[in-house]
Chains A and B, each alone.
Chain A
Amino acid sequence: MGGFRVLESFRGRDVISILDFTRRELEELFEVADEAWKLARARPLRGRILALAFFEPSTRTRMSFESAMKRLGGETLLVAGEEAISVAKGENLADTVRMLDAYSDAIVIRHRFEGAALYAAEIAESPVINAGDGRQHHPTQAMLDLYTITKLFGGVDGLTIGVLGDLRYGRAAASFLLGLTLFKPRMVYLISPPQLRPRRELLDELKSRGLRFQEAELADVLEELDILYVTRIQRERFPDPSEYEKVRGSYRVTLDMLERQAKRELKVLHPLPRVDEIDYRVDGSRFQAYFTQARLGVPLRMALLMGVLGGEA
């Protein structure tokens, strides 16, 4: 079998933040993702083991990594839920990571503490992929969001993008916004209830990276948008549950609203799971792109795993 090498610059690398990558690297990643199914036929990751360490609940991200690894011929080791592992017996994260490092070729980690993935990467010799650390980063979600937009619109540059929802606690929205700074969208509108406005650090970062953005109301900008990226309110990250009650249900995208005001070509994205932010009637409409987005998570993660694990056949 002829050998192939993909994504030389990804090999052995940790994936902690979307900002660890350049635009060119992401575009190369997307090109490989386009070929992922073809490349998978050779089972390039046969004999390799990916540890999935999910200290926080996850179905989509975990299963999409698992599916991606298996499609490439590799195996997965799953540790899920704090109770399932020795953490419940008092083992610290550092020791768990050392153990996983010994048992696998790369570690995917999700943890409710911000910075957990970076910490794991400092400890492990194998590459560590961040699948969500608290409210901070979710780089592979941002990669697949940008990949989806590239598939739908041929690129990200020049688009007008609305990001709606919990911009304060949502790591998917934060990573998506940071990812957008690597491209040149025409304008990015930040749309959130006042309590869920982005933290100042994030706004500072977007500003210092030269992203064109402004805060807005959905009704004022909907007709301009090419993309409406909707996120769920991150109930589990509210320091105070009564604060959550004040904002729950405070925004909702309906089919009527879209038909009345949006461009015909508008696409609605959502990292999922959704609660009630998007009316189910949008699902069958031309605006829906969130299921497409979820499906593209597998080839995107296949490309990433081939890159990081240095897939050769």
Chain B
Amino acid sequence: MEEGLLVRRIREGTVVDHIPPGRAIAVLKVLGLWPPRPNGHRIAVVFNAESRKMGRKDIVKVEGYHVGEAESRAIALVAPTATINVIRNGVVERKWKAEPPEEVEGLLSCPNPTCISRKPGEPIKPRMRLRSREPLEYRCVYCGTPVRGGDVERYLTV
């Protein structure tokens, strides 16, 4: 791995690779790891690494943190090309491509200011349903307002 020159391999944790350039921080945000906490996980972020497939890419390595299926779906919201590598005992135990979730609850807010999910004081979580993978588009379950592609990051609640 090219970035091996910059950051040492991890023995336990997760490598999120093939992140579209500039999205690494968004990935950390959906994982709840941004901003980093003192005494928190050791995290390495590589921006604009060379990639044969993508030209440039970002990479995130988190030590001591194993990303699960549900979290990988959240990652797909902001980094649809990402691959997740879960590492245990120094070997890649599982590697998969993040797929956007069919429905997201509480993670994406609705852009429509008169959507009931935006009404202050209501015990309601925004819910968005996947309408299209390519291009990525979600629609609000309550009011039908779309959130498309690059706008997804803008409406992340994390």
Contact = CB atoms under 8 A, between A and B. Distances in A.
A157 B146 CA distance: 31
Contacts, number: 54
A134 B143 contact: yes
Contact of A115 (B115, B121, B123, B146): B115
Given A136-B143, A201-B144, A93 B115 contact: no
Contact of B143 (A92, A94, A114): A114
A113 B119 contact: yes
A119 B116 contact: yes
A114 B116 contact: yes
A90 interface: yes
Contacts of B122: 92-94, 119
B114 interface: yes
B114 to A, nearest CB: 5
A115 B139 contact: no
Interface string B39-81: 0000000000000000000000000000000000000000000
Interface residues of A, number: 18
Interface string B4-23: 00000000000000000000
A201 B114 contact: no
Interface in A76-128: 90, 92-94, 111-116, 118-119
Which applies to chain B's interface (DSSP): helix, strand, loop or mixed?
loop
Contacts of B145: 114, 201
Residue among A92, A115, A119, A201 with the highest chain B CB neighbour number at 10 A: A115
A122 to B, nearest CB: 8
Nearest to A87: B121
Contacts of A113: 114-116, 118-119
A200 B137 CA distance: 13
A17 to B, nearest CB: 9
Interface string B104-141: 00000000101111110111100000000000000111
Contacts of B115: 113-115
B34 interface: no
B154 to A, nearest CB: 18
A215 to B, nearest CB: 20
A239 B123 CA distance: 26
Nearest to A16: B142
B51 to A, nearest CB: 34
A136 B144 contact: yes
A90 B123 CA distance: 14
Contacts of A114: 112, 114-116, 142-145
Nearest to B119: A113
A47 to B, nearest CB: 32
A208 B10 CA distance: 48
Contact of A201 (B117, B142, B146): B146
Contacts of A200: 146
A135 B114 CA distance: 9
Contact of B123 (A94, A116, A118): A94
Contacts of A133: 116, 143
Interface string A128-157: 000001111000000000000000000000
A118 B144 contact: no
Given A92-B121, A136-B144, A116 B139 contact: no
Given A136-B144, A201-B145, A112 B123 contact: no
Nearest to B132: A204
Contact of B116 (A90, A116, A135, A201): A116
Given A113-B116, A133-B143, A201-B145, 16 more contacts: A93-B122, A94-B122, A94-B123, A112-B114, A113-B114, A113-B119, A114-B114, A114-B144, A115-B143, A116-B116, A118-B141, A119-B117, A119-B142, A136-B143, A200-B146, A201-B146
Interface of B: 112, 114-119, 121-124, 139-146
23 contacts: A90-B121, A92-B119, A92-B121, A92-B123, A93-B116, A93-B119, A93-B122, A94-B123, A111-B116, A113-B114, A114-B112, A114-B116, A115-B115, A115-B116, A115-B140, A115-B142, A116-B116, A118-B141, A119-B116, A119-B122, A119-B124, A119-B142, A136-B144
Interface of A: 90, 92-94, 111-116, 118-119, 133-136, 200-201
